[in-house]
Amino acid sequence: MNQHVARPAASSPTATTAAGPTARDRRWALILLVAISTVSFIDRSILNTVGQAIKDDLAITDLQLGLLGGAAFAILNGLLGLPVARLAERRSRVAIISVAVAAWSAMTALSGLAGSFAHLLLARVGVGIGEAGAGAPSQSMLSDYYPPHQRATVFSILGLATPFGIVLGGLGGAVVAQTFGWRAAFFVVGLPGLALAALTWLTLKEPPRGFSEGRDAAEVAPPFSEVVRRLFASRTFRHVLAAAVIVNFVGFSGMSFLHPFLVRTFKVDYTTAAFAFVIVNSISLAGGYLMGGFVTDRLVKRDLRYYGWAPGVAMLLAGPAYILGFLQTQWIAAILVLILPGLFSGVYFGPTFAITHNLVEPRMRASATAVLSLIMGLVGMTTGPVITGWLSDLFAARAFSLGDYAVMCRGGAAATIDACRVASASGIRTALIIIVSLFWWAGLHFFLAARSVRQELSAR
């Protein structure tokens, strides 16, 4: 345990200490917040690798599966993120994060008790409510720990929670589901978060507001309306936001349906598909996040327009790479090809949040993160899996020639009747190809952001 850490009082508006955080404090904060984000991603995305088992057991459609993986989590998560962010501008971010981790971990465990689609939907809503309390306060703290020229790298390291969560939650969840059932998987991934919540409360140090930039920690948090005006007055932010929304729309769609795509297309069991899911996403996304952060932080020293150029080029490459992967008909070839696009699609993360934080004042950053996350979640996470699931059902029905697909291939029949499996595999492949082509649209917005970012950040 860090012996130099003091827990801030929850009632303190600034939660400062006489001396600022040390290098050791910064490292520990980054490690712990990455761990928290990893647990968050595991609990949020466990449905990605046990979704097919839930579909078969509860006899639900792909549209309902999309609702569980997206809208059930994202709507309240995004909406509650705003008041939580405003609270984080004024009160202890450590306390907020600790309570949030405990809440969503408990709701994840309770998901394993669900006996119907409606019960599971309510539990997933609870997970979304809990996770509303971590993202914005965590990023706000990191911006007080690390200066502007290191933030793309720091946020990219924070983004490693996604591939870490894929490995731990995706693979571990699938193994548990294969051995003990999908309900046990929710218990296994949910309960450890309670211990992490206690560790956060006891060891994480609250940095003074604006510490990394030498700003006055006693500054009063501005009204939320001022934060919104500052953000949307920025041409750069508007284009970065549009790009990030599209990337998340595509990304959450792929995360929700890649595992079912592998199961249906190649007739492998849940665990084998989970291994492939982990290999495809963890290695490539980790590389993409790190490349996006480290490379961008170095390139922007030459020209600030690389904040838009770097992710823009990556988005143009991601779409064709994914399409090529989904068109493969051989198991090994599909896995190898699908590793590549994650290297490109993950590049956006660090630059997106670095630009957002660098455009605003210290006591605006939690709110700015919440605004960005709300819009990304409501449009991307909420609609992406749902629309992809709807497209999958639509194209599967068109590919099925033996009658009414919705009736004959409901629930486990889609996996046991060969004609149903072929139709469902065709449907999900077509849906995913359509969705990933939107990466090109995201790339356009990043290039448009590059046209104004140098002027705006120089003025800031």
- The least confident of 1-10, 75-84, 385-394 is 1-10
pLDDT of residue 363: 83
pLDDT of residue 1: 39
Instruction: Name the residue with higher pLDDT: 169 or 195.
Output: 195
DSSP codes of every residue in 20-70: PPPHHHHHHHHHHHHHHHHHHHHHHHTHHHHHHHHHHHHT--HHHHHHHHT
pLDDT of residue 41: 83
pLDDT of residue 414: 57
pLDDT of residue 14: 39
What percentage of the chain carries pLDDT values higher than 90?
A: 40
Burial class of residue 1, CB neighbours in 10 A (0-12, 13-18, 19+): exposed
Say if CB 310 and CB 430 are below 8 A apart: no
C-alpha to C-alpha distance for 170 and 180, rounded to whole angstroms: 15
pLDDT of residue 10: 38
H runs (alpha helix) in 267-375? 270-278, 284-299, 306-326, 331-345, 349-358, 365-375
pLDDT of residue 332: 92
Mean pLDDT score, 228-253: 95
pLDDT of residue 411: 62
Q: Residue 217: which pLDDT band, with cuts at 50, 70 and 90?
A: low
pLDDT at 231 over 60: yes
pLDDT in tens, 319-370: 999 999 999 999 999 999 999 998 899 999 999 999 999 998 888 888 998 8
Q: Residue 416: which pLDDT band, with cuts at 50, 70 and 90?
A: low
CB atoms within 10 A of CB 50: 28
Q: Which residues contact 293 (CB under 8 A, 6 or more apart)?
A: 152, 153, 154, 155, 156, 157, 159, 349, 350, 351
Instruction: Name the residue with higher pLDDT: 164 or 436.
Output: 436
Instruction: Name the residue with higher pLDDT: 426 or 216.
Output: 426
**Integer CA distances (angstroms), 231 to 308, 312, 359, 370, in order:** 17, 21, 8, 12
- The least confident of 80-89, 175-184, 212-221, 347-356 is 212-221
Two tokens at 435? 């969705």
- The least confident of 52-66, 275-289, 385-399 is 52-66
Q: Residue 401: which pLDDT band, with cuts at 50, 70 and 90?
A: confident
pLDDT of residue 122: 85
DSSP codes of every residue in 185-199: HHHHHHTHHHHHHHH
Residue 136: which of 453, 381, 356 has the closest Cα?
Answer: 356
CA 173 centroid distance within chain: 18
Q: Residue 4: which pLDDT band, with cuts at 50, 70 and 90?
A: very low
- The least confident of 45-54, 76-85, 192-201 is 45-54
pLDDT in tens, 251-310: 989 888 898 899 889 988 877 887 888 888 788 888 899 999 999 999 999 999 999 999
pLDDT at 417 over 90: no
pLDDT at 418 over 90: no
pLDDT of residue 7: 38
pLDDT in tens, 8-34: 333 333 334 445 678 888 999 999 999
**Integer CA distances (angstroms), 185 to 38, 277, 344, 387, 424, in order:** 16, 17, 31, 26, 25
Q: Which residue has the tokens 């970065």?
A: 240
Q: Is 265 helix (H, G, I), strand (E, B) or coil?
A: helix
Q: Which domains does the chain have, with CATH numbers?
A: 23-202+223-459 (1.20.1250.20)
pLDDT of residue 72: 65
pLDDT of residue 334: 93
Residue 145: which of 295, 12, 28, 245 has the closest Cα?
Answer: 28
Residue 49: which of 216, 255, 212, 238 has the closest Cα?
Answer: 255
Mean pLDDT estimate for the chain: 85
pLDDT of residue 3: 39
Q: Is 266 helix (H, G, I), strand (E, B) or coil?
A: helix
pLDDT at 454 over 50: yes
pLDDT at 446 over 90: yes
Q: Residue 398: which pLDDT band, with cuts at 50, 70 and 90?
A: very high
pLDDT of residue 218: 56
Mean pLDDT score, 79-107: 89
User: Averaging pLDDT over each range in 34-43, 379-388, 400-409, which range is the top one?
Assistant: 34-43
CA torsion through residues 11, 17, 21, 25, sign: negative
Say if CB 430 and CB 391 are below 8 A apart: yes
Instruction: Name the residue with higher pLDDT: 125 or 359.
Output: 359
Q: Look at the pTM and tell me if it is higher than 0.85.
A: no
Q: Which residue has the tokens 């604006």?
A: 210
